Amino acid sequence: ECSTLSFMEQLVQFSDSELALFWLAYRNSGYDRGHLVPAANHKGSQEAMDETFSLSNMSPQVGKGFNRAYWARVERFIRNLTQECEDVFVVTGPLFLPAPVSQAQQTSKTPQWVMNYPMIGRAPQLVAVPTHFFKVVLAEHKKGNEVEFSVAAFVIPNAEILPDVPLTSWLIPIEHLEAASGTLFFPATLTPQRRASLGQAEERFIKKIGRVENQTLLIEGTSATLEPKQKLSLDIRNSKIQELSHLCERMQCALSADKFNKQLKSDDVVVIEEA
């Protein structure tokens, strides 16, 4: 079963009228109410599917070319992993990443990085629009009595993305994502020894696909020394884990293309808006 953990774990209590303002912030904003936990993952229970439409599971996402297309294909890719793996665990969340200041704008007194993102709604009930979204995938594979795991971390910009851009374009070393998000992913499973092995696998695969190191890290130098504030643990039978590999080395990290794109034609997309 594919289970996705929402990154927004700490919920703030608002009155109904305040929640209505946050909900209405999306109206005519140009952004979709993007799901972190996909509704399609919970078709087995109407109650579980309804819960994915809560505001705590939503974040502003670019609609055309992202939420209704590329991001949906990423979600489908992960669901398909459940047909090949014993178990699939996913952590999904928003990111706010700085952009480098152009050399033309830099002086000895200006910073090298700048944080810039839009906000929607009406003050003071504003909703911040993430610059990126991430997914960390931990897949379990069984070989007889042995258990093997593969891991991959993706950071994808919240923007319209051409359909032929490969999923591997958004791979990032998991420790870089942890530094940027302030979260330690799966610490019970990713022990220091296994992290070293995973780091080698990440470097090996990134070189294999022709990426250079500075392309793998969008946020290098911004938070590398940050101590993770949260630990997303997972109780897995550590004693039985024989191997830890990179997901994209073990399996083909490719999005479904033509068939799924045809399903996502604008005429076929149903967008639910409030009256």
Contact 201, 245 (CB under 8 A): yes
At residue 236 the predicted structure's pLDDT band, cuts being 50, 70 and 90, is very low
Contact 49, 43 (CB under 8 A): yes
Number of H helices, E strands in the chain: 8, 13
Catalytic residue, candidates 35, 42, 132, 246: 35
Dist. CA 164–CA 174, nearest whole Å? 24
| pLDDT recorded at residue 15 | 57
Contact 133, 95 (CB under 8 A): yes
pLDDT digits (tens, 9 = 90+) for 15-54: 556 667 778 888 889 999 999 999 888 888 898 888 888 8
| pLDDT recorded at residue 243 | 64
Q: pTM value?
A: 0.79
- Between CA 38 and CA 42, with CA 41 as vertex, the angle to 5 degrees is 110
Dist. CA 201–CA 176, nearest whole Å? 15
Residue 227 burial class via C-beta count within 10 angstroms: exposed 0-12, middle 13-18, buried 19 and up: exposed
Dist. CA 161–CA 81, nearest whole Å? 22
pLDDT digits (tens, 9 = 90+) for 118-167: 999 988 889 999 999 999 999 998 877 888 899 999 999 999 999 999 99
Q: pLDDT: is 271 or 247 the higher one?
A: 247
**Can you spell out the DSSP letters for 38-96?**
-GGGGTT-HHHHHHTTSGGGEEEEEIIIIITTHHHHHHHHHHHHTTTSSEEEEEEEEE-
Whether 35 sits among the annotated catalytic residues: the reply is yes
The two beta strands, 125-128 and 2-6, are: unpaired
Dist. CA 109–CA 225, nearest whole Å? 23
